[in-house]
Structure 1
Amino acid sequence: MGTNDFGHELVGISPFHADGTLRGFVISGRWPNTTKEWAQLLVLAVRVATMPGLLPTTTVFGAREELPDDPEPGTVGLVLAEGPVLGECAVSPGRFAVHQPPALLMLHPPSETRPSLPECVGAASGCLLLPGIPHLGLEHRAAWVETEADGTVTSMISRVGVDPISHPDTAVLAMLLAA
């Protein structure tokens, strides 16, 4: 934690796992408040997803403004693994229709990422959807990131005014939000 050069409190991000599987991230200091800061959080999450075996399959994570048991000082919330995209335990459509999280992430392990460059074998990727309320003029925002195991960011795109059905990852995340 701490502050940046402008005196603003930094966003702290700490991954955590259980039984060798990535279960989420503890957010401290403050929540990201811009698309850029959320994209930076996604970069860190995708870097973690490159670690062999930590993320067995494509998984959805949801931001929650609740604290873990016995939180460290400065903890503001969690980004928790909600479940895989496919399979018997897959996250079901409409899962977040009643209580919409401020952000949803989808992380793809290296085994389920087609790298953007042939020399980037072993890269992981991810997508972030910041749901808007279009009928109130609040646009959907999104970011997509690909990183290599050494931390190199090989692709990063962020957009405001995203039509969720325009990309497969945002379409899946939007489906989880739809009632």
Structure 2
Amino acid sequence: MEPSSIEIAPLQYQGGFGGFMIIGRWPREVVEWSKMLVLAVQLAAVPGLLPASTVFCVEEKVPDDSADGGGLHAVGRATRAGSFVGEQPLQPGRFADPLPPALVVLHPPASTRSSVPEYEVASGCILLPGLPHLGLDHRAAWVAADAGGTVTELHSRCGIDPNRDADTAALALLLAA
């Protein structure tokens, strides 16, 4: 029997936020992915946890000990892949083969302009790549939230054109072969 809930657990990488484990089951549609993105953005809003805008690759890999009998049923993970700028920026086509189920970019508060000035928020975007030539549309979600749990923006859409938004365009470039 498939678990009904989706949970995420943060992963640490060199003292910072290294991504998250997806536990229970895979999100089935863009709204469920956006709920996961809310949690990831709230983590990115914690001061000092994410020093710069960072890309994470969602993969169907789990640690060998995920079926440890303790009730953990990991189905995948989103791991830190790198950034768009800096000493070793991610290159276009980096994730073209194999195509991941999703790419995520998280922006810390220092890189996010809040739509509600009273809140210092982090933001993020998840791109669920489709195969438009086969009738499978690209989907995406965008979130802005603070570390205390306040969500100031949440959008999810199916049938997007990745070139109409800076985050989805950059993520699509990483997927382009």
Q: Which residue of 2 aligns with 1:90?
A: 89
Query: RCO higher in 1 or 2 (8 Å CA, sep ≥ 6)?
Result: 2
> Which letter maps to 1:178?
A
1:29 to 21, 24, 27: 24
> Which letter maps to 1:109?
P
**RMSD over aligned Cα, in angstroms?**
1.5
Shift of 1:123: 0.5
Structure 2's unaligned 5+ residue stretches are none
State the TM-score, normalizing by the size of structure 1.
Answer: 0.92
Q: Which residue of 2 aligns with 1:164?
A: 162
> Which letter maps to 1:70?
D
Separation in 2, partners of 1:141, 1:52: 29
1:18 to 10, 13, 17: 13
Q: Which residue of 1 aligns with 2:122?
A: 124
Shift of 1:19: 2.7
> Which letter maps to 2:43?
V
2:3–2:24: 8 Å Cα contact kept in structure 1? no
Q: Which residue of 2 aligns with 1:147?
A: 145
Separation in 2, partners of 1:80, 1:18: 9
State the TM-score, normalizing by the size of structure 2.
Answer: 0.93
Separation in 2, partners of 1:69, 1:58: 29
| Secondary structure of residue in 2 paired with 1:70 | helix
Q: Percent identity?
A: 53
- Give the ranges of 4+ consecutive aligned residues of structure 1 lying more than 3 Å apart after TM superposition: none
The number of residues matched between the two structures is 173
